[in-house]
Amino acid sequence: MTRLSEYLLPTEKQPPADAEALSHKLMVRAGLVRQLGAGMWTWLPAGWRVHQRVVQIIREEMDAIGAQEMLMPVLQPAEPWRKTGRIEIEELFKLTDRKGSELVLAMTHEEAVTTHVAQIVRSYRDLPLILYHFQVKERDEPRPRAGVLRTREFVMKDAYSFDRDQAGMEESYALHVRAYDRMMTRTGLRFYRVQGDVGMMGGLGAHEYMAPCAAGEDEVVLGGADGDRYAANMDLARNSPDVERVGDTYFRAGEQLTVEPAIEIANIFKLGTRYSLALGASYLDQAGAEEPVWMACFGIGPARIVAAAVEQFSDEHGISWPKALAPFAVHLVSLGKGGTPEREAADLVYATLLAGGLDVLYDDRDRGPGEKFADAELLGCPLRLTVGRKSLQDGEIEVQVRRGRQSAAPLALNAQPAELIRAVDELWRSLP
C-alpha cells in the first residue's frame, strides 16, 4: 500500500546549498536520497525502488548469460591485496582489528573471488565460470561530490569470468559486452561504449560505458561512421598515436573528433592472468599440465545509472523517468479531502489499479492541488492520473504523461475495472 499520507517522501522546495549537479539537486528535492556525511548517502524508499529496478535489469541479463550470483564480504584480510600489489592504493580503506590483524574495506573484489577460485577450481572441466554479486564498496574518495555520483560508499555489481585460455577469456568478454549493451538499452539511457584505460585494474584492455550529460566529470572522444567508428575516453585518446591534438581540437585520419562530457556508469576489463598468477588460481589441462586461469571483470554502478537518468531526463519541473526505472508506474492524485465524493471516487480508482497489479503511488494527503501537482512533477512517474470534482462532473479521469507534460485522452471514471486497467496498461506500453 503506497499512500502518500503514510509514505516517506520528504520533498523539498529548494536544493542543498552545496549542490551543483542537477541529479544531486533533484534527487534530494524529490525525496529519493539524504546525506549522512561526506560521500555517504542514504537511499530513501522511493529512491531505493529506482535503484532496485536497475539492479533487477542487471540481474536478469547476467543470469541470461549463465552467470551465478553469490555474495562476498566487504571486510577482507589485507594479505591477498598485498600479494596483488594493490595494498598501496591510496583510496583503499585499511584498518586493524582488536588482535592487530590487518584488514581492508574492499573497493572491488578481484582478490576475494580469485582466492576462492584458487581453492575450488582444479580441472579444465571446472571452466569456464562466471560469478557475480551486488555488494557495498568502500572508497576513501578524497573529494566526494555531485550527490551519489562520487561517494565513499556505494553498491556495485561486479562479475568475474574464469577461462582456460585467452581465447576463452575473449569469448566471455564478448558475451558480457552484448549483455551490457542490452542492460543499457533496457534502462532507457543514451550511452556510448568506448575504449578505456586499464588503470589500477591492470590487464590487456578495457571498455567504459558512458552516459552523455552536462554534469559528467569524464569526457568521451567520438568520430567516424559505423564501419570505422571511434569512441574512447579522453585519457586513451590523448595517448593514441591515431589521434592528433591541435589546441583543444582532436583529429583522426583528417576527421575532427567531437568531445562530449559523460558519466561513467560501467567499466569492463580483460585481466588476463594478472590476479590468477598472484593468487595461485590454476587448473590442470587435458594433458595434466598446470595452467593459470584467464580472467576478466565487469563492473556496473546502479547509483550512477540512476543519477545519469535524472541528468538526461529532467526539466525545470523535476525528474521524468524512463519507464523501466520509474519508482512507480502511475502517480494517482486525489483532489478531494477525506469524506468527500471525489475522495471516495479516487479511493475506488486506487483499489482498482492495485487489484490489476499496477504499480501506483496514491497522493491521498489533505493538501492543495498546487502542492500535489508540484510533488508529482518533481518525482517524475511516467503517468499521472487525477480525480477531483471535475472528474465527477465529466465522468473522466484526467491523464498527464510526465515526459513533455502532455495531456492524454481522459479515462472513463465509471469504466469496468478490467477496462480501466487495460486502458492504463496500453498508455504505459506507449511510453518511452
Tell me the CATH number at 170.
Answer: 3.30.930.10
- Read off the pLDDT of each residue in 13-35 and give the average, rounded to a whole number: 95
- Read off the pLDDT of each residue in 122-139 and give the average, rounded to a whole number: 98
3-class DSSP string for the chain: CCECCCCCCCCCCCCCCCCCCHHHHHHHHCCCEEEEECCEEEECHHHHHHHHHHHHHHHHHHHHCCCEECCCCCEEECHHHHHHCCCCCCCCEEEECCCCCEEEECCCCHHHHHHHHHHHCCEHHHCCEEEEEEEEEECCCCCCECHHHECCEEEEEEEEEEECCHHHHHHHHHHHHHHHHHHHHHHCCCCEEEEECCHHHCCCEEEEEEEECCCCCEEEEEECCHHHCEEEEHHHHHCCCCEEEECCEEEECCEEEEEEEEEEEEEEEEEECHHHHHHCCEEECCCCCEEECEEEEEEECHHHHHHHHHHHCEECCEECCCCCCCCCCEEEEECCCCCCHHHHHHHHHHHHHHHCCCCEEEECCCCCHHHHHHHHHHHCCCEEEEECHHHHHHCEEEEEECCCCEEEEEEECCCCHHHHHHHHHHHHHCCC
pLDDT at residue 227 greater than cutoff 80: no
* pLDDT tens for each residue of 389-431: 999 999 999 999 999 999 999 999 999 999 999 999 999 999 9
Gyration radius (Cα) of the chain, Å: 25
- 410 shares a domain with 287: no
Q: What is the pLDDT of residue 202?
A: 62
- 340 shares a domain with 303: no
- 32 shares a domain with 67: yes
- 219 shares a domain with 163: yes
Q: What are phi and psi of 2, to 5 degrees?
A: -120, 75
- 388 shares a domain with 302: no
Decide if 68 is inside a domain.
yes
> Which of 43-52, 220-229, 346-355, 391-400 has the least mean pLDDT?
220-229
> Which of 198-202, 271-275, 294-298 has the least mean pLDDT?
198-202
- 401 shares a domain with 271: no
Q: Tell me the angle at which helices 45-64 and 302-312 cross, rounded to the nearest 10 degrees.
A: 110
Q: What is the pLDDT of residue 208?
A: 94
Residue 176 domain boundaries:
22-229+259-315
- Read off the pLDDT of each residue in 18-45 and give the average, rounded to a whole number: 96
- 384 shares a domain with 301: no
- 154 shares a domain with 28: yes
Decide if 9 is inside a domain.
no
* Percent of the chain residues topping a pLDDT of 90: 88
Decide if 2 is inside a domain.
no
Task: Please state whether the peptide bond connecting residue 77 to the residue before it is cis, i.e. omega within 30 degrees of 0.
Answer: no
pLDDT at residue 199 greater than cutoff 80: no
Answer for the pair 327, 306: CB distance below 8 angstroms, yes or no.
no
Decide if 43 is inside a domain.
yes
Rounded to two decimals, the pTM is 0.94
State the CATH number of the domain containing residue 379. 3.40.50.800
